[in-house]
């Protein structure tokens, strides 16, 4: 019998696999607008296993202040407060610095947030 943690990780991995094309397009579009960043999927707010354009808001370059982890799916650029917060949490838990250029070359991280305090999360790498 598997633990909840391993079941949760498998579901997150399946989510990334099932939505790989959309997540890549979303990352590339937002990277062109805002620069390097991460995709955050807030599991508390996500209502579906398949995502599309209708599930996420569209942002323009001047809207980057509104990018937050308090949306079901969002792109968080490196100059955003939430990126810095996530970087600290990931450094503490996994000893990975997501701000380093080598760690973000030709890929985007997909971060699944599982609670409001951002203490429980998992990360996946998505090759672009």
Q: What average pLDDT does range 23-36 have in this prediction?
A: 92
Note the pLDDT of residue 7: 67
Q: Is 2 a residue whose pLDDT tops 50?
A: no
Q: Is the pTM of this model over 0.75?
A: yes
Measured in whole angstroms, how far is the alpha carbon of residue 70 from the centre of its chain? Answer: 12
Q: Is 48 a residue whose pLDDT tops 60?
A: yes
Structure tokens at 86: 């996530």
Residue, of 81 and 3, whose pLDDT is higher: 81
Strands of the chain, DSSP E: 37-42, 73-77, 107-113, 121-127
Q: What average pLDDT does range 16-40 have in this prediction?
A: 92
Q: How far apart are CA 80 and CA 21, in angstroms?
A: 25
Q: What average pLDDT does range 86-103 have in this prediction?
A: 86
Question: What is the pLDDT of the chain when averaged over all its residues?
Answer: 84
Q: What average pLDDT does range 11-30 have in this prediction?
A: 92
């Amino acid at each position: 019998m598997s633990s909840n943690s391993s079941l949760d990780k498998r579901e997150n991995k399946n989510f990334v696999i099932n939505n790989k094309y959309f997540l890549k397009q979303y990352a590339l579009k937002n990277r062109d607008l805002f620069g390097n960043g991460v995709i955050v999927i807030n599991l508390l707010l996500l209502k579906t296993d398949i995502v599309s354009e209708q599930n996420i808001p569209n942002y323009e370059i001047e809207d980057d202040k509104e990018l937050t982890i308090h949306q079901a799916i969002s792109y968080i650029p490196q100059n955003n407060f939430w990126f810095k917060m996530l970087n600290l949490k990931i450094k503490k838990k996994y000893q990975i610095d997501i701000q380093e250029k080598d760690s973000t070359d030709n890929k985007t991280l997909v971060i699944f947030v599982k609670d409001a305090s951002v203490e429980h999360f998992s990360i996946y790498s998505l090759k672009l």
